[in-house]
Amino acid sequence: MTTHMLTDAQAAVAAMISDRLRAPDYRAWRANVEATGGCAHLVRLRGSSRILDRDGAVLVEHAGEIFAPCGNRRETICPACSQRYAFHLIRAGLAGGDKGVPETVTGKPRLFLTLTAPSFGPVHSRRLSARGRVIPCGCGAHHREHDPALGTPVDPNAYDYVGAVLWQAHAGALWSRFAIALRRALAAILGVPARQFRDVARLSYAKVAEYQRRGLVHFHAAIRVDGPDGPHDPAPPGLTPETLREAVLAAARSVCLEVARPDGTPLLLGWGTQIDVRAITPARARSVEDDAGEITDASLAGYIAKYATKGTGKTDGHPDRPIRAIEHVAYLDVPDHHRRHIQTVWELGGLAQYEELNLRKWAHMLGFRGHFLTKSQRYSTTFRQIRGERRTWRLADTLDRLAADTDDPNGLPPDLDTITVINDWHLVGIGHRNEGERELALAIAERKRDLRQQRRTEGTRP
């Protein structure tokens, strides 16, 4: 029965795709979608836009319906928009030479860090021996790579769901304490009091949160040490990747946060025992990890950005939108383990002692209350600056094409400082008109993504 329904749905989408491909306005529609980068949840606007010169004469005028990218940072909503800004923000702080970040950042002490959650009970796992053979799980089974049991508790009744939820809710606070502890450790290495660390150095980082199969997040972070004024300032002498590594490990192992369980007993929260620290080298290789186990900055940007955009969705086993009532949890298409996790979040959210955590608002995120992508102030550029640069580039490109279309072969585009842009747009709708159009947009975005990856790969070849 289910198979028949899926077949009918697929046939309906195929018919929608065929209708769009045969439509008289297909070329115009495709051009508009291409302009959004293949946005899967685009914003449809109707109205007009005029570019005037300093005398008020109309240089360019567009009228009708246009598409604007949604700008959503979650891959489950829009793969194209989710990756666009995250990649540039992260890459600017890693490789430099763009977005106002100098190339000299590649010569500073830098590390790629992964911090995990502690154990709250044995879960089904799949480990490999040195020879690549599957090591039996604690349950005695040899799990397949995509076994849905992976990450779920061996004994659900003995699993500490309350502890897991409280850790998840305080993961952001743990990172803040880790950053403070790291600054203190670096200050000790430099031989200055902790309160004077900002006078001699600055800790810069970009981190993303990724859900593990067991439903808890772990953090990937690119960490860099700058001078006190940020990326343009050289790092203080005496700091090397090796000393930075020692400081990171010491800080991660020292972080501890005490909270109370519902019955009042204390619960100590910290990072898991699996702490991965690797050096970041300037881009000279084609892959993320080279033979020495080091990470290259160019490939690392895409690697981190991928996790920054995953968000919460069906691929992670939990819902993408907030839960309004506990009755809805029973109907969610999620694994039983995540369902119990969500139920625990909801139950704890109803207790007065956890009111400030506002847990029920984050039940769909399994209690994680932080952002998936965060960075320190001086790590690189900002989302606002990136969007502004894209708008300026589009405007300059329009004026360049205007000059090229004029009869004067020596015509120059008007100066951006001498023009006025008047936009008059109103909302028509959000999203594609049907699933067929959305599938075509996803295909356009995938093709663009493959072309970008090909250009980056060719650019890093020796």
Q: Calculate the CA 192 to chain-centre distance.
A: 35
SS3 state at 4: helix
Instruction: Supply 90's token pair.
Output: 């992260």
The arithmetic mean of pLDDT across residues 433-459, rounded, is 81
pLDDT reading at 462 higher than 50: no
Of residues 331 and 348, more confidence is placed in 348
Res. 251 pLDDT band, cuts 50 70 90: very high
pLDDT reading at 311 higher than 50: no
pLDDT at residue 395, rounded to an integer: 65
pLDDT at residue 23, rounded to an integer: 92
User: How far apart are alpha carbons 447 and 338 in whole angstroms?
Assistant: 34
pLDDT in tens, 371-394: 877 888 878 766 666 666 666 766
Which amino acid is located at 294 in the chain? E
pLDDT in tens, 183-229: 999 999 999 999 999 999 999 998 888 898 899 999 999 899 999 98
Considering only CA atoms, which of 300, 290, 163, 125 is closest in space to residue 220? 300
Domain boundaries along the sequence of the chain: 2-74+422-459, 79-120+160-375
pLDDT at residue 2, rounded to an integer: 42
Write the CB contacts of 193 (distance below 8 Å, at least 6 apart in sequence).
187
DSSP string for 330-355: GG--S-HHHHHHHHHHHHHHTSGGGG
CA dist list (Å): 377 to 93, 171, 204, 315, 382: 11, 20, 8, 31, 9
pTM for this predicted structure? 0.74
Give the helix ranges, DSSP H, for 210-353: 241-254, 297-308, 336-349
User: How far apart are alpha carbons 118 and 166 in whole angstroms?
Assistant: 12
Q: Which secondary-structure segment (H or E) carries 167?
A: helix 161-169
User: How far apart are alpha carbons 150 and 125 in whole angstroms?
Assistant: 5
How does strand 266-269 pair with strand 110-115? unpaired
